Amino acid sequence: MAGYVARRLLRAATTLLGTTLVLFVLVRVIPADPAVSIAGPKADPATLAAIRKDLGLDDPLAVQYGRYLWRLAHGDLGRSYVTGRGVAAVIGERLPATALLAVTSLAIGFTLGVAVGLLTAARQGSAADLAVLIATLVGLSIPTFFVGNLLVYAFGYRLRLLPLGGYGGLSHLILPAATLAFVELLFYARFVHSNVSGTLASDYVRTARAKGVPPLRLYLRHALRNALVPIVTLLGLDVASLMSGVVLTETVFNWPGLGRLAVQAVFNLDIPLVAGTVLFSAVLVLACNLAVDLLYGVIDPRVQHG
């Protein structure tokens, strides 16, 4: 097990290092002058030159990259060109809002999706199975931002039951969480249905059914458990995606999370903030992938020797 964990940690560290290199190169090729972003478009050439020297932009790229890695190793993501605040502090302020939205929507969507997927897999070919199949195909083809705007119009503007947007109490959370949970529910329902249906057709499940195993135990312990690997893989990627900030949903509902922060940074050409949010998202993806890899070893010990 120790060797399995060590290999996964080494892979994650190598991927993270490669991510920092790609991010560093992309930031340098963006057609935006950091000095102009800081001093403004009307600054004189002497001021711009002084700012570039202070930022170390005149140094060789290798030196700049080494300095960038050194700062990252000490938790320094740089300072925002617009506000002058530390990028790490800004991300830390926005993280709770994104975490609240992500956890709420994923808990609702995943739980209901798994339940619907199991029920329809157990009744393949029925009218309920066909109805859910059509609903998932139609629902997943609808853009998330359209669902969000539709909910805002219906429950916020027409019925005036919920706030149109913003961040506050439970009433502000319902619409954005429902928007994401709607998509999560449909996706997991279809995904669980497909994987459990394939598992139910296997020989060992037919043998268990012939031995008189109760239906609930058959679906949960035999079918769902053996279909967990692809489900856990998808769940890990989903958690990383939601925690990184769902850009369109947070923008529609004016939710002060990481997704909206990234959009504002792009429009303001705030390069350190853009780089910080992208790197933070990459770290989340790597962390979730690492957690999923370790869960593989728990779900199926044979994975450790693969």
For residue range 46-89, list pLDDT tens digits in order.
Answer: 888 888 888 787 888 888 889 889 988 888 888 888 888 899 99
The answer to whether residue 177 is domain-embedded is: yes
Q: What is the total count of domains within the chain?
A: 1
Higher pLDDT, 97 or 6: 97
The answer to whether residue 44 is domain-embedded is: no
The answer to whether residue 271 is domain-embedded is: yes
Question: Where does the pLDDT of residue 177 fall: very low under 50, low under 70, confident under 90, or very high at 90 and above?
Answer: very high
* Rounded distance between C-alpha atoms, residue 183 and residue 192, angstroms: 14
* Rounded distance between C-alpha atoms, residue 54 and residue 36, angstroms: 13
The answer to whether residue 132 is domain-embedded is: yes
pTM of the predicted structure, to 2 decimals: 0.81
Residue 269: give the domain boundaries.
94-305
Question: Where does the pLDDT of residue 302 fall: very low under 50, low under 70, confident under 90, or very high at 90 and above?
Answer: low
- Domain containing residue 248: CATH number: 1.10.3720.10
Tokens of 173: 């959370």
Structure confidence at residue 92 (pLDDT) = 92
Per-residue pLDDT averaged across 269-284, rounded?
87
148 closest CA partner among 195, 105, 202, 197: 105
Tell me, what DSSP letter sits at residue 40? -
* Rounded distance between C-alpha atoms, residue 295 and residue 289, angstroms: 10
The answer to whether residue 201 is domain-embedded is: yes
The answer to whether residue 65 is domain-embedded is: no
